[in-house]
Each structure stands twice: as structure tokens, then as C-alpha cells.
Amino acid sequence: MQEPLPDTPGSASAGFGPVGRGLLLLCKVGSVLGGLIFVALVVMSIVSIVGRKLASAPVPGDLELMQMGSAVGAAAFFAYCHMTRNDVKVDFFTQNWNPRVVALLDALGSLLVALFGVLFTWRTWVGAMTLKEYGETSAILGWPVWVAQVLMVPGFFLMAAAGFYMCFHFLTREGKGATKGVA
């Protein structure tokens, strides 16, 4: 089986208009922030492990911080992955199909990503407001749990926007006969 070559840097937005390039920039910023969150979590984890072994002084609430931070960081990556077409795809059966049919399937997949993004944005926000109303806090640190959930909302919102944009992109650009590598 022949694997496609990855896009060259900068080619992800080759077929995008100004709106798409702006959205891609927002998605890049979100993913960089998510990456920085994970770097901070790794540093915190190392400090906690070393502190636990050498001084019997781990970072208090390190698991709580890891859970909340990982959720926020992961939510920040979805939109960029979708905009650059680097999310999970199974194109084994469609690799030899007509590009228009593949573009329609990609548009349908992007629409599903968008709808899930809308659902996640809505339900994460509602859940966070419910947690805020009831005053739920983490067990060790006593931090309000709703704050981490609210911080996930922008990532899910960007995921929805990326899904809608890519759906439109596949229907208008790739659906008119453009090749798969243009996006």
C-alpha cells in the first residue's frame, strides 16, 4: 500500500481564501497554546516525581492539574488537525475513486466534525455553568472545576468553525474537480 506524502509546510492553506487563512491562523494559535499547556504539564509532572522521590514533597494536586490541563490542551488541537487534513482518515477504499465523490465524502465528514464541534461547545458550556452553579471544586486543590471546562470551549468552537469551513471548501473547491492534494 502506498502512503501519501505529507504536505510541505505552508501548503495546508494553499487553496484557502482570506477567511480560511485567518481561521487557520486562529487554529495554529490554539494548537500552540495547547502544546504549551502540555509542556507545562510535563515540567510539572517531572517536578512532582523528583520532589516525591528526593524530598517527599510532590506537587500538591498534580493529578488534578494533569486531568484539567490535558483536557484543555487536547481540545485546542482538534481544529488545527482538521484544517490541515491531518485528523484520522481511512481512505483505503476511496483512494482510487472519482475526486468529486471523495470531495463529497470529505465534505460530509467535515460537516460531522462541525456538528460535533457545535455539540461539544454547547454541552461543555452548559456543563461548566452547572458546575459553577453547584460550586464543584477539585478534591485536593479546591479549585473550581468549571474553569477548566470553560477553557475547553474555544477549542471546540474553533473545531466547529473549521468543520464548517472545510465542508464549504470541499464542496466549492475540491468538488469542482480539484485534486486531493490541493487543500
Joined grid coordinates for residue 120:
461539544
| Regions in the chain scoring below 70 on pLDDT | 1-14, 174-183
Q: How far is 114 from 149, CA to CA, in rounded Å?
A: 19
pLDDT of residue 10: 52
Joined grid coordinates for residue 68:
484539567
Annotate 36-67 with DSSP letters as a single string: HHHHHHHHHHHHHHHHHHHHS-PPTTHHHHHH
Read off the pTM: 0.85
Kindly report the backbone phi and psi dihedral angles of residue 151, in degrees, each rounded to the nearest multiple of 5, phi listed first: -70, -15
Query: What pLDDT digit, counting tens, does each position of 128-153 carry?
Result: 999 999 999 999 999 999 999 999 99
Q: How far is 183 from 133, CA to CA, in rounded Å?
A: 44
Query: Measuring CA to CA, how many Å separate 167 from each of 4, 14, 42, 160, 164?
Result: 22, 16, 36, 11, 5
